Structure formats: C-alpha cells, structure tokens
C-alpha cells in the first residue's frame, strides 16, 4: 500500500534500537517485508513507509520534513539540536550520556576535569554540561570507539553512551558523572503536515497508545471463597469493579480484572493468604481505554 502521500517514518538501520522499534511497529499491526538491505520499506497494510538510516541522521530528516515521524534515542535528538516535536517516550533503549575516566587516573569528580581533553561523539551536550558548571574543557570529536581514546592518550576522559556499562568495564573506565538520561522517543516534524497525513498520524498514535497501555497491564484471574472478595479488593485497590463469577463448587467465585503488571508481584503472597487460589496472569495484546 503506497501512494504520493504515504506517511514516512525514519528508523535506525542496524543499531541498538532497530529490533525493538520494528517489533513495536509489528505489534501495532503494521506488516513489512524484506526490510533487510533496503532503505525505503513500504508497509503492506497501512499507508506508511519506513526510511532506514543512521540514527544520527534521523532528527534532521524529521526537522526538514523528509519524514513526518522518527524513532530515535533522545540522546541523538538532544545532541542534534534539531527543531522537532517530542511526541512520546517509548520505554526502551534506556541509556545515559556519561563522563568516564580511566579507573587508575586521578580524575574522581567532574571538577578534576577542568582544563582536560574529553573525547566524545556528543560535543554539543558535553560542552554545554561543562560550561554550565564553569569548567573549561577541550572536546575531541570522535565518531566511533570513543572508549579507546584515553588508552591512546588522545584524551584524559570520555563522554559516551552507557547502557549496560559493559563497554566501560572492558576498557578500564569508570563513570564520573551523568550528562543526560535517555531512552527511545518518537519525534514529529514541525513542518506543515497535510490533513490526510495528519489523520494517519493520529491513528498511528492511537494504536501505539493502546499497545503501550496493554504492556503496562495484565489480565488477572483467580478463584476465592466469596466472603474473601472484599479483602481481595482491598489488597488490589485497582480492582475497582472486578468481574465476579459464581463457580459450580460451593461458595467459590472466580475474580477477573486488569491490573498494573508491577502490582501483581507486590501482592501475590497477600492474595494467597486471603484465600485466593489458581491465580493466573495473562499478557494483554491491546487495550483501548
């Protein structure tokens, strides 16, 4: 499905966010085939096409209106200073831009970096961070393998993305300070968008909202003695009006409801103590509230 006015969405080609972004799109019912080795990928069942590019290029493509939407790390958008609208955070791709120094160096706090050289792919955010604290540094701009710079004596410290911390550890570096917390986000162009595309965006956002809501919730079912219902509703306050069904067996009821995922783990023991049994928890595919 595709025509002149297809909605165009930029996503990262082959990187940390690619897989999760594609599965998010598939989870809201969009079908793509053959996106390997292609730059423009049409969607089979929605008037949208994907542009697969380097993440660093995404904010500018969206700013210029080449793509109406983009999925990208907040770190990349912030560094680019692109004029785009942040629509929503996506809850994955969590990482931080942090300053790190060799573990055996005398650099223990940010103040120790006054007058030093810092290697980074994020010169804008790094300079701004140090300027705000009245510290003078020299940024050495490197586009890849920043973590090796102190070993090569190209820099005294680095400012780079930390996710698991594995890269820092492998290279004998320790974090000194966080510059920016980040996660994947959906951005939108500030260029004028024609009404038909605007409508496609609204539908797209509604589907994403339903999916995000569903991920935060679980469907819970349990059996309990009917006189325990009140107590169970007290334990799970979000169970405002659960479905309570009588069971054939004397005085037992089945309780069904939707609860925040997190809550289940907190109250499981209490539910059992209140007399609940056969507790089943199910994922929800989509949820329109």
Residues contributing to the site for ligand PRP (CB under 6 A): 15-16, 55, 121, 160-167
Which of positions 107-166 make contact with Zn ion (CB under 5 A)? Answer: none
Which of positions 46-105 make contact with Zn ion (CB under 5 A)? Answer: 55-56
161 contact choice in Zn ion, ligand PRP, none (CB below 5 to 8 Å, kind-dependent): ligand PRP
Q: Annotate the chain with three-state secondary structure.
A: CCCCCCEEEEEECCCCCHHHHHHHHHHCCCCECCCCCCCEEEECCCCEEEEEECHHHHHHHHHCCCCCEEEEEHHHHHHHCCCEEEEEECCCCCEEEEEEEECCCCCCCHHHHCCCEEEECCHHHHHHHHHHCCCCCEEEECCCCHHHCCCCCCCCEEEEEECCCHHHHHCCEEEEEEEEEECEEEEEECCCCCHHHHHHHHHHHHHHHHHHHHHHEEEEEEEEEHHHHHHHHHHCCCCCCCEEEECCCCCEEEEEEEEEHHHHHHHHHHHHHCCCEEEEEEECCCCCC
CB of 56 to Zn ion, least distance (A): 5
CB of 187 to ligand PRP, least distance (A): 16
Of 219, 200, 237, the closest CA to residue 287 belongs to 219
Both tokens of residue 201?
């965006």
Considering the complex, state which of residue 81 and residue 111 has its C-beta at the smaller distance from ligand PRP.
81
105 contact choice in ligand PRP, Zn ion, none (CB below 5 to 8 Å, kind-dependent): none
166 contact choice in Zn ion, ligand PRP, none (CB below 5 to 8 Å, kind-dependent): ligand PRP
Separation between Cα atoms, residue 90 and residue 205, nearest integer Å: 12
209 contact choice in ligand PRP, Zn ion, none (CB below 5 to 8 Å, kind-dependent): none
276 contact choice in Zn ion, ligand PRP, none (CB below 5 to 8 Å, kind-dependent): none
Considering the complex, state which of residue 76 and residue 100 has its C-beta at the smaller distance from Zn ion.
76
Separation between Cα atoms, residue 286 and residue 208, nearest integer Å: 9
CB of 3 to Zn ion, least distance (A): 32
CB of 12 to Zn ion, least distance (A): 8
160 contact choice in Zn ion, ligand PRP, none (CB below 5 to 8 Å, kind-dependent): ligand PRP
CB of 55 to ligand PRP, least distance (A): 5
Considering the complex, state which of residue 164 and residue 241 has its C-beta at the smaller distance from ligand PRP.
164
277 contact choice in Zn ion, ligand PRP, none (CB below 5 to 8 Å, kind-dependent): none
Considering the complex, state which of residue 122 and residue 130 has its C-beta at the smaller distance from ligand PRP.
122
Cα distances (angstroms) measured from residue 185 to each of 30, 100, 211, 233: 19, 25, 15, 36
Number of residues that bind Zn ion (CB under 5 A): 2
CB of 278 to ligand PRP, least distance (A): 41
Considering the complex, state which of residue 175 and residue 269 has its C-beta at the smaller distance from ligand PRP.
175
CB of 54 to ligand PRP, least distance (A): 8
Considering the complex, state which of residue 139 and residue 212 has its C-beta at the smaller distance from ligand PRP.
139
**Quick check: 77 and 122 in contact, CB under 8 A?**
no
Site residues, Zn ion (CB under 5 A):
55-56
């Amino acid at each position: 499905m595709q025509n002149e006015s297809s909605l165009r969405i930029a996503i990262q080609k082959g990187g940390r966010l690619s897989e999760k972004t594609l599965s998010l799109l598939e989870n809201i019912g969009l079908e793509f085939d053959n996106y390997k080795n292609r730059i423009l990928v049409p969607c089979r069942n929605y008037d949208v096409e994907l542009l697969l590019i380097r993440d660093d290029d995404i904010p500018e493509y969206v700013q210029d209106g080449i793509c109406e939407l983009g999925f990208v790390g907040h770190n990349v958008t912030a560094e680019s200073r692109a004029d785009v609208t942040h629509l929503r955070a996506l809850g994955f791709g969590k990482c931080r831009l942090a300053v790190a120094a060799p573990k055996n160096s005398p650099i223990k706090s940010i103040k120790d970096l006054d007058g030093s050289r810092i290697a980074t792919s994020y010169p804008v955010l790094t300079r701004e961070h140090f300027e705000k604290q009245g510290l003078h540094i020299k940024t050495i701009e490197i586009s890849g393998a920043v973590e090796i710079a102190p070993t090569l004596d190209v820099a005294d410290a680095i400012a780079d993305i930390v996710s698991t911390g594995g890269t820092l550890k492998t290279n004998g570096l320790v974090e000194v300070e966080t510059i920016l917390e980040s996660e994947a986000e959906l951005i939108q162009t500030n260029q004028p968008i024609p009404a038909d595309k605007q409508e496609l965006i609204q539908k797209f956002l509604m589907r994403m909202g339903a999916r995000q809501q569903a991920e935060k919730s679980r469907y819970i079912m349990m059996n309990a003695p009917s006189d325990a219902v009140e107590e169970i509703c007290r334990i799970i306050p979000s169970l405002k009006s659960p479905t309570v069904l009588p069971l054939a067996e004397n005085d037992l009821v089945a309780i069904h409801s939707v609860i925040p995922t997190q809550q289940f783990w907190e109250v499981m023991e209490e539910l059992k103590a209140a007399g609940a049994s056969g507790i089943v928890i199910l994922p929800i595919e989509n949820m329109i509230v």
